[in-house]
Structure formats: C-alpha cells, structure tokens
C-alpha cells in the first residue's frame, strides 16, 4: 500500500468563487491546490456578457496571491438575451471557456433564466460552431417533481432532446448524482461528459438526516440513495475519460446555512483532494486518481494538462484542515467533513 502519491496538478472543472470578501477568502485556497478552475457565473448579478466576464476575471485575479499561476476559466450565464457575438468573440479570444445553463427559476433573478430553449437556439448554434461547451445544472425546477427525481426528469425532458437537436454541441452534465446520470453520460457519444463532486462520492441522502438535520450536507443536486453513491464511486474511479472532478465548492456564510431556511452549497475546496485520495484508495483505484483530477477534464476541454505536480500523503487525521475559514465581513464558512477520519493530506502543492 502506497503512503504517498504524486500526480499532475489537478484542475477544478466546477467552482464557485463568489465576489467581494468571500472571493478574497476562498480564491487563494483553490489557487494553492488547483492549476485552473471553471468559474461559475451565478453571482448576485449573474455574469451575462463579455464585459461582465472581463470585470469578474479582473476581480478574481486581484484576489489571488502575488505570483499565483492559477488560471480562472471564465463562463457566461446563459439567458434568453445572451448575445451570440459574445460567444463567437469570447471563444476566438480565448476569454470564454463555456456557458452555464441553470434550470428556470433556480435563481432569485428569475428574469435571467431560460424558460424556453427555442429562444436560445441561435446561441447554441454559435456555441456548437465555435466548440464552446454548454454546462448544465441537470435538474428540472418543477415543484411538482420530487426533489430526488429532478435529475432523471431533466435528462428525459431537457438533456436528451437537446443532445438530439444539437448533436455536435459539447455538453457537460455538472455534478451528476444518479445511476441514470452515469448511464446517460456513459452511453452517449464523446460530446457528452460529466463532473462529479467529492460530497456525492462520500454521502448519501440518509447522511443528511443522520442524528438530526445537517445543513452542511445540503447542496443541489441533493445527495441521493446509497445505490447512486456507489454508481458514482464506480464510474469516477473507473478511469473513463467522460468523468472528471468538479468540486462545486460553494461557500455560504455560516449564518446562511445554519438557519430556518438554509442555502444549498457545500464548501469543500480545502479537503477535496485528501478526500478523493481516500475514496480512490478505498476503491482500490489510487492509480486512477490522476485521470479523474488532472487528465480527463483537460482532454474534454481541449486544453493542455498542467505541467507541475502535487504530492498527497497518508497522514494521521488532521483537524486543522476542517477549521472554518474567515471571510471577513461575510463571516465564517464551515468546511465539509464526514464523520470518518480523513487520513490523507496534501504534502506539496
Ligand atoms: O448546492 C449548490 N450550491 N448548488 C448549486 O447549484 C448552486 C450552488 C451555489 O451557488 O451555492
Ligand atoms: Zn455549482
């Protein structure tokens, strides 16, 4: 059993960095560990235009430590008014990596959501043409659909028809949580891929209610039954190039999580890599960790792999990595942890 593993520096293909004091607190954490990250555009005022994107990238760069080589890969929030020329221009200049589709009604600014997919056909055509991937939050937001079924219904109602209509559009099904999601992606052609979060490899829906309600295990898509967690573990550790790491690290101030109506989102950036080493070891697949964290995503996004490496080491459980982080005026952010001791850490990043 190896006590140490050296891998090409990982990338995070799905990350929420927020803005303001929160951005300043969390950006250095991801930047110390990951080479690049796909930056989600769901700010309070979403990143909707190339102009918004450039300004946000500037704020991210300003929040990085001196000398950091971390590269934010920027995205736009797809709306019914997205300008196709932003896609063409952003793709040509390399400033735009992808667009994100959230289910209608997902945000408070619901005027920005896509209610009718036909209204974004010209944008999708421009994306297909320019090879710009569409990242989907794969859940319907229909109150009549049970929260645990929303991913499966999304595949039937939205994703499968979209892929049939735009077969050359490259689509990432973000943070998949079900056997059906695994099957859809596995059986589709090379234009469909998926990200997987660490929490969906570690917790199932019962864990959210184990001994009481646990707000820090609440994220969307919500964790599903154990059979789904096992399917995700199997495919993540399989080496299949269609599946790669997207942490979905999504910081919320402690007070917005521990309250009567807590926000969805799990902050996992500091512990993702140790937890993944643990999961891959448990599955007897430490040799596949590098593909999941550092190779498969680059291949899908047609980007070179990172040039430097990091070292993960088996260590006695280390409590310090679970300390809440201080986000200044925003308050503190609780770091994801499970009950099981975590016996890996990042030795060199
Ligand atoms: O749990 C989640 N948190 N799911 C999302 O889709 C959004 C994210 C956030 O921004 O907090
Ligand atoms: Zn997310």
Tell me, rounded to whole angstroms, the distance of Cα 152 from its chain centroid.
19
Does position 109 have pLDDT exceeding 60, yes or no? Answer: no
Helices (H), the chain: 20-33, 50-63, 84-93, 121-130, 150-154, 160-165, 179-187, 198-202, 226-236, 254-257, 272-282, 289-290, 296-301
Does position 111 have pLDDT exceeding 70, yes or no? Answer: no
- State if residue 250 touches ligand 1 by the CB under 6 angstroms criterion: yes
pLDDT digit string, tens, across residues 300-331: 999 999 999 999 999 998 889 999 999 999 99
How would residue 108 be classed by pLDDT, with cut points 50, 70 and 90? low
Only one residue has tokens 């500037």, namely 58
Structure tokens that stand for 349 in this block:
């990043």
CATH number of 4-348: 3.20.20.140
As annotated, the active-site residues are: 248
Q: What's the pLDDT at 97?
A: 98
Q: What's the pLDDT at 103?
A: 84
pLDDT digit string, tens, across residues 41-76: 999 999 999 999 999 999 999 999 999 999 999 999
How would residue 230 be classed by pLDDT, with cut points 50, 70 and 90? very high
Does position 107 have pLDDT exceeding 80, yes or no? Answer: no
How many Å apart are CA 298 and CA 285, to the nearest integer?
20
Does position 188 have pLDDT exceeding 70, yes or no? Answer: yes
Please tell me the total number of residues recorded for the chain in this structure.
Answer: 349
DSSP code, position 321: G
215 preceded by a cis bond (ω within 30 of 0): no
How many Å apart are CA 214 and CA 309, to the nearest integer?
35
How many Å apart are CA 280 and CA 313, to the nearest integer?
13
Q: What's the pLDDT at 318?
A: 86
How many Å apart are CA 99 and CA 79, to the nearest integer?
10
pLDDT digit string, tens, across residues 151-179: 999 999 999 999 999 999 999 999 999 99
pLDDT digit string, tens, across residues 79-96: 999 999 999 999 999 999
Atom 6 (ligand 1): residue with closest C-alpha?
220
pLDDT digit string, tens, across residues 120-151: 999 999 999 999 999 999 999 999 999 999 99
- State if residue 208 touches ligand 1 by the CB under 6 angstroms criterion: no
- Taking all residues of the chain, what is their mean pLDDT, rounded to a whole number? 96
- Whole-number Å distance, alpha carbon 96 to ligand 2 midpoint, is 18
Does position 110 have pLDDT exceeding 80, yes or no? Answer: no
Q: What's the pLDDT at 26?
A: 98
Of all residues in the chain, what percent carry a pLDDT higher than 70? 98
Contact 277, 312 (CB under 8 A): yes
How would residue 205 be classed by pLDDT, with cut points 50, 70 and 90? very high
Mean per-residue pLDDT for 214-219? 98
Atom 5 (ligand 1): residue with closest C-alpha?
220
Q: What's the pLDDT at 112?
A: 78
Q: What's the pLDDT at 191?
A: 98
Does position 248 have pLDDT exceeding 90, yes or no? Answer: yes
- Whole-number Å distance, alpha carbon 308 to ligand 1 midpoint, is 30
Q: What's the pLDDT at 2?
A: 81
Q: What's the pLDDT at 105?
A: 72
DSSP code, position 65: P
Give which of 64, 2, 59 is closest to 30, Cα–Cα: 64
Q: What's the pLDDT at 104?
A: 79
- State if residue 220 touches ligand 1 by the CB under 6 angstroms criterion: yes
Atom 3 (ligand 1): residue with closest C-alpha?
265
- State if residue 219 touches ligand 1 by the CB under 6 angstroms criterion: yes
Burial class (CB in 10 A: 0-12, 13-18, 19+), 66: exposed
N-term to C-term CA, the chain: 22
């Amino acid at each position: 059993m190896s006590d140490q593993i050296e891998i090409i520096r990982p990338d995070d293909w799905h990350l929420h960095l927020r803005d303001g004091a929160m951005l300043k607190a969390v950006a250095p954490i991801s930047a110390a560990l990951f080479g690049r990250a796909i930056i989600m555009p769901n700010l309070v005022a979403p990143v909707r235009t190339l102009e918004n994107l450039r300004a946000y990238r500037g704020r991210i760069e300003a929040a990085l430590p001196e000398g950091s080589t971390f590269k934010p890969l920027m995205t736009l929030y797809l709306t019914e008014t997205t300008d196709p020329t932003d896609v063409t221009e952003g793709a040509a200049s390399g400033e735009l990596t992808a667009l994100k589709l959230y289910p209608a009604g997902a945000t408070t600014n619901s005027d920005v959501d896509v209610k009718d997919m036909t209204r974004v056909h010209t944008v999708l055509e421009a994306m297909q043409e320019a090879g710009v991937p569409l990242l989907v939050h794969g859940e319907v937001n229909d109150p009549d659909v049970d929260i645990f079924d929303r991913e499966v219904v999304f595949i039937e109602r939205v994703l499968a028809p979209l892929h049939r209509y735009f077969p050359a559009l490259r689509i990432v099904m973000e943070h998949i949580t079900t056997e059906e999601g695994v099957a859809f992606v596995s059986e589709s052609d090379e234009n469909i891929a998926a990200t997987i979060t660490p929490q969906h490899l570690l917790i199932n829906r019962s864990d959210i209610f184990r001994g009481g309600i646990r707000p820090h295990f609440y994220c969307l898509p919500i964790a599903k039954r154990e059979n789904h967690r096992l399917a995700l573990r199997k495919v993540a550790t399989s080496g299949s190039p269609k599946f790669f790491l997207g942490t979905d690290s999504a910081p919320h101030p402690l007070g917005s999580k521990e309250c009567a109506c807590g926000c969805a989102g799990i902050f996992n950036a500091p512990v993702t890599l140790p937890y993944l080493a643990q999961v891959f070891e448990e599955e007897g697949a430490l040799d596949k960790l590098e593909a999941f964290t550092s190779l498969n995503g680059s291949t899908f996004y047609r980007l070179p792999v990172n040039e430097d490496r990091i070292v993960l080491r088996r260590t006695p459980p280390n409590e310090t990595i679970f300390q809440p982080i201080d986000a200044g005026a925003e308050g503190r952010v609780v770091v994801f942890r499970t009950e099981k001791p975590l016996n890996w850490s990042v030795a060199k990043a």
